[in-house]
Amino acid sequence: MAILVKYYFSANNVTITSSKALNNPYDYRVTIDSTSFFQVNYMQDVVTDNHYDDPNRKERHIVF
């Protein structure tokens, strides 16, 4: 999924829980990357999280 979008959560500084991300959206663990794999125009403003099947990560996506 991350290769289709322009921005994705990269977890460069380990992961972050939803509650910590909501409490501090500028936390060093909130890492968004934009290294391109493919250029898919209709996905350019989409941010993804590859582990969205975990219901505790939905709030984290709001921070992204």
Q: Quote the pTM value.
A: 0.56
Phi, psi of 25 (to 5 degrees): -65, -10
Q: Measured between alpha carbons, how far is 36 from 56 in angstroms, rounded to an integer?
A: 27
What is the share, in percent, of the chain residues with pLDDT greater than 90?
Answer: 19
62 CB neighbour count, 10 Å cutoff: 10
pLDDT at 61 over 80: no
Please tell me whether residue 12 adopts helix, strand or coil conformation: strand
Quick one: pLDDT band at residue 1, thresholds 50, 70, 90? low
Give the tens place of pLDDT for each residue, 11-30.
Answer: 889 988 889 999 999 999 99
